Amino acid sequence: MCYCPLLPRLETATRVVILQHRRERDMAIGTARMARLSLPNAELHVGVDWTDSAPLARALSDPERPPVLLYPGPDARDILREPPVGPVTLVVVDGTWAQARAVVRDNPILNALPRYAFAAPEPSRYRIRREPRAEYCSTIEALMYVLGVLEGDPEKFRALLVPFEAMIDAQLACEAGTPAQRSHRVKPKHKRPRLPAEIRTRWRDLVCVIAEASSWPYRAGTPTPPAALVHWLAYRPSDGSLFEAIAVPPGELAPNTAFHSELTSEEIAAGMTAEELVRRFAAFGRAGDVVCSWGSYAPTLFAAHGGALPEATLDLRRIAQRYAQGKVGGLETYAGEVTPLARGRGGRRLAMLASLLRTWHAVLDEHER
């Protein structure tokens, strides 16, 4: 479907810089390119690592239009209520929420920018691609809201939605008109899900675990200290009970630990010893627990610090691969956006594990009925 005849041309004082995750580049139903074609004062760059990007550095160096980042976070200001004063360079990250989060997290040049966000005042019209939360929206919808405020003319930028909605209507019409071509994708309802029965039969015993560590980068010819446990989290999705503890490493903290764990150095320095953490977790655990982790990293790290876990385990990464019948990528990519259960990256990843188990439990429950 060609939407070129429907593209508006909307001049702006705002400079728009769209940073598109490389996995989004070939998505036919993406909206970043549509926005770029509609906004003469916009530029689109594709990539993941922007550390040494000369084009981005040039885009952010305009003294007449200081850069701001459109991305949610605890320190983000509501751009619809408190917009920046004067023309700005608006940096927008395009991709799935997991992809966008990784790009922002791993690029200090983006983390250093003043951050703005908003909750969409209307439900997203992206009916062919589900958003993780009701207040989220597509890139082109976000630009419609934000540019309407920054440029002082909300109605003008609703024109961005004309090609967007035409694309969606065409896709839905195509799906409705060709059921025979799509029927091969639908799995028979009677087919047993590729999920272990324990997710349903031992639901009350399931315990999700996540570990964060202080890990030193490998350098050839230099002994690498072993990874030190700094954050240990556990959660029972059946009753909502949570365990969280921070441990201070016995030696020096690896330089990127705070950044990757999303804990402050002060929080880690104020933590307990690993021995105390293990002792306290023993009171939380039960003999019949089934430990659920994404891969073996968390249980292995815990055991390396003297911790004992029950023998019954479920590797949710392998289960996801079996259920999807193929590769699933990382936990953030597969699980999508969630509300964290505790501090830092560990709290967010713990919520992702719990979300997967709840989804699979519901699938097994429905199959049994």
Residue with tokens 């703005």: 116
At 183 the pLDDT is: 45
Query: Which of 126, 142, 177 finishes a domain?
Result: 177
At 23 the pLDDT is: 85
The residue type found at 21 is H
pLDDT digits (tens, 9 = 90+) for 256-282: 899 989 999 999 999 999 999 999 999
Distance of CA 293 to the CA centre of its chain: 18
Q: Which residues form the domain of 344? A: 198-368
Averaged pLDDT, 42-49: 91
Check whether 346 has a pLDDT greater than 50: yes
Cα distance between residue 13 and residue 324, in whole Å? 46
Quote the DSSP letter at residue 88: -
Average pLDDT, whole number, for the chain?
Answer: 87
Q: Is residue 190 part of a domain?
A: no
Pick 79 or 120 by higher pLDDT. Answer: 79
Q: Is residue 184 part of a domain?
A: no
| Same domain as 267, residue 151 | no
Q: Is residue 187 part of a domain?
A: no
| Same domain as 306, residue 171 | no
| Same domain as 142, residue 220 | no
Distance of CA 9 to the CA centre of its chain: 32
Radius of gyration of the chain from its Cα atoms, rounded to whole angstroms:
23
Check whether 148 has a pLDDT greater than 70: yes
| Same domain as 62, residue 117 | yes
Q: Is residue 186 part of a domain?
A: no
At 173 the pLDDT is: 78
**In the chain, % of residues over pLDDT 70:** 92
Q: How many domains would you assign to the chain?
A: 2
**In the chain, % of residues over pLDDT 90:** 57
At 200 the pLDDT is: 92
How sure is the predictor about 223, in pLDDT bands with cuts at 50, 70 and 90?
A: confident
Averaged pLDDT, 230-259: 94
| Same domain as 322, residue 206 | yes
Cα distance between residue 55 and residue 32, in whole Å? 18
Cα distance between residue 234 and residue 341, in whole Å? 10
| Same domain as 299, residue 211 | yes
At 182 the pLDDT is: 47
| Same domain as 157, residue 284 | no
Pick from 351, 361, 318: nearest CA to 235: 351
pLDDT digits (tens, 9 = 90+) for 149-163: 999 998 999 999 888
What are the φ and ψ backbone dihedral angles of 38, each rounded to 5 degrees?
A: -90, -15
Cα distance between residue 264 and residue 344, in whole Å? 9
Q: Is residue 15 part of a domain?
A: yes
Distances from the Cα of 154 to the Cα of 149, 205, 320, angstroms: 6, 52, 43
62, two tokens: 């305009």
Cα distance between residue 24 and residue 29, in whole Å? 9
User: For residue 365, is it left (φ>0), alpha (ψ between -120 and 50) or beta?
Assistant: alpha
Quote the DSSP letter at residue 150: H
| Same domain as 305, residue 339 | yes
pLDDT digits (tens, 9 = 90+) for 7-37: 999 999 999 999 999 888 877 778 899 999 9
Strand partners, 290: 206
Cα distance between residue 159 and residue 10, in whole Å? 8
Q: Is residue 315 part of a domain?
A: yes
| Same domain as 207, residue 162 | no
How sure is the predictor about 220, in pLDDT bands with cuts at 50, 70 and 90?
A: low
Query: Which of 148, 177, 206 finishes a domain?
Result: 177
| Same domain as 317, residue 347 | yes
Check whether 205 has a pLDDT greater than 90: yes
pLDDT digits (tens, 9 = 90+) for 49-86: 988 888 899 989 999 999 999 998 888 899 999 999 88
Distance of CA 29 to the CA centre of its chain: 20
At 134 the pLDDT is: 47
